[in-house]
Structure 1
Amino acid sequence: MTAVLRKDSVGILLRNSSNLCKSRVPFSTSFHHLYSISTEKKPKINPAVYDFLFQQHNFSPEAAAEAASVITRLRNREKSDSLFSFLEKNDFSSSHLEKIVKYKPSFISIDLEKSVKPKIKIFQELGLSNSDIADLFAGNASVFYRSTDKRVIPALSKLRGLLGSNASVVNLLMKSGRFLIRDLDKTMVPNIEFLRSRGVPMEQIITSMHCFSRFLLHKPEHVRRSAGKAEGLGARRGSRMYIHAVRVVASMSDEVWELKLQAFRSLGFADADIFNAFSKYPQAFAVSVRKMREVADVLVSTGKYDVVSVVAYPLCLASSIEMRFRPRLQVLAALEDRMLITKWPSLPTLCKLSDVIFFERYVEPYMDEVGHLFLAKGLISC
């Protein structure tokens, strides 16, 4: 049997796929019915707020009831209606508004002219589409409560200066709006200066902004303390791994860090191994204790890899079991059973190979012999 497969879909071909389905339970939309569905004690719900959200602005009964149990009164229905209508015209869906009101119930009475319109206009001029603006604010409702002139505009100016273009700023903000909420002069700016003083290139810092925004927004004293701890564990200033080492330490409390070290020891790591692993692969220390043990169990159960292999390449602990290890291990076991391979790849190779290269090396040459097996197991599809 011969199969022609597109390489850009190999990642899908090598993994099982599943559909996550959501279902809605039928319910009455009657406000009074909301009270009769349970005999448990119910919070007091403001009928006017509930009616405004559910009847006029298409909130779900549950979201409207939750908000109406927190919002004690609707101060000015006309102003609130103007606010919601304006946002709806700018592509804010009911789910966007539900999320904002759930996080900030007081939003229902926020000043449209002073607090909302200026910010929407700024982001439209920056180049964001209305739907992107809605997504941004739904995930970062606190931005509405930050001063446009004292916080939002200066933050955008600093980000543009660092990243070089509006497009890059937009790209960053769509990943994390936290840069608009925190005071960058008290967090990001001193943290960048500190990291540069430790030999971290700006390119790495900008990558970290995109991938790990919380790190640069920590209090500077926390980042400095974490750097000292990382250096004590073997992180070297100026090395490519330095920023990762500091970030990983900064992400954990002292108690969690100790639990992590105990977990490494329980897997067979000596203290010297831990120091060596941390200096080379600090990202492995960001993995949860539970996942560390599950990965080690999966690998050792094959009989092809042992604890020594894991200790030698601890970055394997950061790889996905379902998306990387399990499908690849099934492929290799099937090939070995049919004597189509005599040697399994090393653990680093197993982890590092892209889906495309793994497919080309271990699947494509044997499609005629075992393609039906892979199809049956759902590892690939026609």
Structure 2
Amino acid sequence: MLRLRSSILAHLLSSSPAASPASPLHRLISAAAPAIPPNPGSFAVEEYLVSTCGLTQAQAVKASAKLSHLKSPAKPDAVLAFLAGLGLSAADVATLVARDPRFLCAGVERVLAPNVAALTGAGLSRSDIARVLSLGRPQFRHRAMASTLHYYLHLLGSLDNLLRALKYGSLFSSDVERVVKPNVALLHECGLGACDIAKLCLSSRWLLNTNPQRLQAMVVCAEGLGVPRGSRMFRQALHAVAFLSQDKIAAKLEFLKNTFRWSDAEVGTAVSKAPTVLELSKALLQRKSEFLISEVGLEPAYLAHRPVILNYSMDGRLRPRYCVVKFLKENALLDRDRDYYSAVVLTEKVFMEKYICPHKVAAPHLTEDYAAACRGEVPTRFIFS
């Protein structure tokens, strides 16, 4: 009987019904149910997880520990039929059940169907909802899930952003009304728009879930770095100081001052223009200082007013482009007064158009030499005496 039920449910999961999951629900459940009620003591959870849900034996052993109370396949059958109605594939169902075995115990009529109806009302299609459910978050089997997801969907601006946040972070770890909404209100007061808040939520997924008093302290700390509320850099400043103690920030500022030979005022200028330099490791900062000051010959004050240069890749951008600029100047193909920084900040496409392509005749190997330099190699033509 279990094999018969498994084959019926497997067929349902392999198909993609066009109707709403709620309308064929009772038909699907009755189709999947056995003709004769099973013996309550005979339900083999592990076998069911493997044969019906598609889990591996190892996954089934782990998952069955959370389903040991089940004495009948009635609830799991109903859930699987509901998921089939939504259009989840067998692979998605296996992933969902492996991540959250207790989803098989969720009430279809009481929880899942109302949640799906609410998400549909929020503008999500059946395929969208299937993508959300396939992530297997435990909160998806609770009634409050729909309203919470609706709020985050509006906050993040798109389903793809919502899925990214759900996949790599926990949007449900804090109370939306008491924690998340006050934090969002504070960020709005700081001049951050919806797009900025969405980016913060994706890059620092715990930020909105932190204690509101702690977020207020971060705001004060960011302002203390010389980055005023409402400025373009404020979001980056918040990201940079998040959960760093005052002592650690002070130590990093002192390191920057010594490493780049900056005055107190120049450190302040650099950090206010590019707060993300606080996130760079000391080893990387030391390496960039040696290259930019000692090798390229840039003045400390010059760097203090253009600190964004420190955020670029040393081997992928700074050194290869320096080699190209120096090669062109050495061969009288570029004005010697041309600023190195102006070459560094260009996108790769524009850099190629301005510094590589115009010299294909005069320097036919420049394209391949630049590509080699980006790979960490040092072409002979880029070795300067």
Using structure 2 for the length normalisation, give the TM-score: 0.65
From 179, 199, 218, the equivalent of 1:211 is: 199
Point out which structure has higher relative CO (alpha carbons under 8 A, 6+ apart).
1
Q: CA RMSD in A?
A: 4.0
From 108, 111, 117, the equivalent of 2:107 is: 111
CA deviation after TM superposition for structure 1 residue 55, in Å: 3.4
Please tell me whether residue 233 in structure 1 is matched to residue 225 in structure 2: yes
SS at match of 2:228: coil
From 257, 263, 275, the equivalent of 1:282 is: 275
Letter in 2 for 1:170: L
Distance (Å, rounded) in 2 between the aligned partners of 1:257 and 1:279: 13
- CA contact 1:155–1:180 (8 Å) conserved in 2: no
Deviations 1:316-350 (A, max 9, x none): 23334465445534544554565533548645424
Alignment map for 1:154-303 (pairs within 5 Å):
156=150, 160=154, 168-170=157-159, 172-177=161-166, 182-198=174-190, 200=191, 204-213=192-201, 214=205, 215-254=207-246, 257=249, 260-261=252-253, 263-265=255-257, 267-268=259-260, 269-289=262-282, 291-293=284-286, 295-296=288-289, 299=292, 303=296
From 341, 355, 359, the equivalent of 2:352 is: 359
Residues 180, 71 of structure 1: alpha-carbon distance in 2 compared, 3 angstrom cutoff: closer
Give the unaligned 5+ runs of structure 2. Answer: 1-42, 375-385
Residues 101, 159 of structure 1: alpha-carbon distance in 2 compared, 3 angstrom cutoff: closer
Residues 349, 186 of structure 1: alpha-carbon distance in 2 compared, 3 angstrom cutoff: farther
SS at match of 1:340: coil
Alignment map for 1:1-12 (pairs within 5 Å):
none
Letter in 2 for 1:207: C
CA deviation after TM superposition for structure 1 residue 282, in Å: 1.8
Distance (Å, rounded) in 1 between the aligned partners of 2:266 and 2:299: 15
Deviations 1:32-70 (A, max 9, x none): xxxxxxxxxxxxxxx9554433433333555445545x5
Distance (Å, rounded) in 1 between the aligned partners of 2:337 and 2:127: 48
Alignment map for 1:289-328 (pairs within 5 Å):
289=282, 291-293=284-286, 295-296=288-289, 299=292, 303-305=296-298, 309-321=302-314, 324-325=317-318, 327-328=320-321
Residues 78, 343 of structure 1: alpha-carbon distance in 2 compared, 3 angstrom cutoff: farther
Letter in 2 for 1:153: S
Distance (Å, rounded) in 2 between the aligned partners of 1:372 and 1:285: 39
Distance (Å, rounded) in 2 between the aligned partners of 1:105 and 1:344: 66
Equivalent residue number for residue 40 of structure 1:
none
Letter in 1 for 2:146: V
From 67, 71, 74, the equivalent of 2:66 is: 71
Distance (Å, rounded) in 2 between the aligned partners of 1:102 and 1:93: 14
CA deviation after TM superposition for structure 1 residue 141, in Å: 0.9
SS at match of 1:368: coil
- CA contact 1:50–1:64 (8 Å) conserved in 2: yes
CA deviation after TM superposition for structure 1 residue 362, in Å: 0.8
Please tell me whether residue 128 in structure 1 is matched to residue 124 in structure 2: yes
Deviations 1:109-163 (A, max 9, x none): 3333333333334334434355543443455714314433xx6326626864x78
Residues 103, 360 of structure 1: alpha-carbon distance in 2 compared, 3 angstrom cutoff: same
- CA contact 1:175–1:210 (8 Å) conserved in 2: no
Distance (Å, rounded) in 1 between the aligned partners of 2:359 and 2:130: 49
CA deviation after TM superposition for structure 1 residue 296, in Å: 4.4
Please tell me whether residue 341 in structure 1 is matched to residue 337 in structure 2: no
Distance (Å, rounded) in 1 between the aligned partners of 2:194 and 2:312: 24
- CA contact 1:59–1:94 (8 Å) conserved in 2: no
CA deviation after TM superposition for structure 1 residue 353, in Å: 1.3
CA deviation after TM superposition for structure 1 residue 220, in Å: 1.4
- CA contact 2:179–2:208 (8 Å) conserved in 1: yes
Letter in 2 for 1:71: K
Q: How many residues were matched structurally?
A: 322
CA deviation after TM superposition for structure 1 residue 226, in Å: 1.2
Distance (Å, rounded) in 1 between the aligned partners of 2:102 and 2:163: 24
Equivalent residue number for residue 147 of structure 2:
153
SS at match of 2:193: helix
The worse-fitting range, judged by mean Cα deviation, of 307-316 and 274-283 is 307-316
Determine which structure has more spread, i.e. the larger CA radius of gyration.
2
Equivalent residue number for residue 25 of structure 2:
none
Give the unaligned 5+ runs of structure 1. Answer: 1-46
- CA contact 1:71–1:105 (8 Å) conserved in 2: yes
